[in-house]
Structure 1
Amino acid sequence: MFAVIKTGGKQYRVAPNDVLKIEKIAGEAGEIVQLGNVLAVGEGADVKIGLPVVEGATVAVEVVEQGRGPKVIAFKKRRRQNSRRKRGHRQELTTIRVTEILVEGAKPAKKAAKKAAAKEEAAAE
C-alpha cells in the first residue's frame, strides 16, 4: 500500500517503513504524528485519488530526529561597485519513518515512545 502526501509545499510518495527528510514539523523524537494532507491512496492498480484530499485518510509517522540541512551560501557581487553581500541558510528538517497508512478514519495502532519513562528507568539503575 502506498500514499501520496503533501507537506512543506512538496508531495511525497510513501509506503510503510519508508524513512525520509521533510520540512520541519512539530514533534519530538519518538513521537507519533498524523499527516492529514493525503492526495492519493492505493495498492497495486486500485488507487483512490482525492479532490483535493482523500476523505478520512491519514498517514501516521514517527519522528526519528529533528535536524538541519546543509548550509547554502547566497553570495551576490556587483563588479567595480564595491558591493557584495553574503548570506547563509540552513533549512530545518525532520526525519520521519512512516508507520502506517490509515483509511476511513482509523486510529494509529502504535503509541509514541515514552522518553520520560526511559530516562527515569536509566536514572534509577
Structure 2
Amino acid sequence: MAYAIIEAGGKQMRVEPGRFYDVDRVHSEENEQITIDQVLFVRNEGEISVGQPLVEGVTIQATVLRHFRGRKIIVYKMQPKKKTRKKQGHRQELTRLMIDSISVNGAVIASREAANDLEPEAVGDDS
C-alpha cells in the first residue's frame, strides 16, 4: 500500500489513493483535476522517500469533489467582574478532495483504480 504525507492549507496529512480528504478552501472548480507537489514523505512497497523539506519529482493527482463549510465553532470571551462578554461563531471554508494517484518522476506508483481492486469483498454473501 502506497501513501504520502502532503502539506495542504498549512496542515500536514497522510493521503492514500481512493480516499477523500477535507482541506482548507482550494481555489478550483468542482470536478477539476489539481496537482499537489508539496509532498513531504512517500512510502511504496516498503521503499521510503523522505524530503528535506520536499521530495523531488513526486506529485499527487486529486479531484475537487465539492466545496462546503465545516461545523460551527463558538468563540466565547469573557472578562470576569467587568461585565464584558463577546460571543462569536466561525465556520471554516473547506474543500473535499479525492486522491486519484501518486506519481514519482512521472510514473504512477498508486492509483484509485488499483486501490479499489484491493478492497475486500462483502462479508455475509453465502448465496
Determine what percentage of the aligned residue pairs are the same residue: 36
RMSD: 1.5
TM-score (norm 1): 0.79
Letter in 1 for 2:20: V
Q: What's the TM-score once normalised by structure 2's chain length?
A: 0.78
> How far apart, CA to CA, are the structure 2 residues paired with 1:17 and 1:26?
22
Pair 1:83 & 2:84 matched: yes
Unpaired segments ≥5 residues, structure 2: 109-127
**CA–CA separation in structure 2 for the residues paired with 1:44 and 1:17:** 17
Deviations 1:28-51 (A, max 9, x none): 110001111001112132111111
Give the structure 2 partner of residue 16 of structure 1: 17
Offset of residue 106 of structure 1 = 5.5
Structure 2 residue matching 1:55: 3-state secondary structure: coil
1:80-114, CA deviations, whole angstroms, 9 ceiling, x for partnerless residues?
Answer: 3221111111111100100011111469xxxxxxx
Higher strand share: 2
- Residue matched to 1:37: 38
Moved over 6 A (4+): none
In the alignment, what sits opposite 1:63? 64
Give ranges in structure 1 of 5+ residues lacking alignment. 108-125
Taking the aligned partners of 1:82 and 1:38, their CA distance within structure 2 comes to: 49
Q: Which amino acid aligns with 1:47?
A: I
Aligned residues: 107
